[in-house]
Amino acid sequence: MPGVGLGVILLNENSQVLLLLRNDDAIKADSDMRLEGTRALPAGKVKYGETLIEAAKRKVK
């Protein structure tokens, strides 16, 4: 099903970027991209009726 996705770049005071470590287990990683065990930006789908800001906050929570 087509939809809207987003990625979030979050920097700290030292200009370091937040990266997440994806789970090694494909089922727990829950991704169609097959990037188990890699580092990635917080990202995902925007829920219907949700703003981009709300989705970004949900992803970095």
Q: Is 44 inside any structural domain? A: yes
Q: Is 51 inside any structural domain? A: yes
Q: Is 60 inside any structural domain? A: no
Q: How many structural domains does the chain have? A: 1
Burial label for 38, CB within 10 Å (0-12, 13-18, 19+), is: middle
> Which position has the higher pLDDT, 13 or 23?
13
pTM summary value:
0.72
Q: What pLDDT is stored for residue 1 in this prediction?
A: 67
Q: Is 61 inside any structural domain? A: no
Q: What is the pLDDT of residues 25-54, one digit of tens each?
A: 877 776 676 788 899 999 999 999 999 999
Q: Is 49 inside any structural domain? A: yes
What domain range is 23 assigned to?
A: 5-55
How does the average pLDDT of the chain come out, rounded?
A: 89
Q: What is the DSSP string of 1-61?
A: ----EEE---B-TT-PBP-EEPPSSHHHHT-TT--TT-EE-SEEEPPTT--HHHHHHHHH-
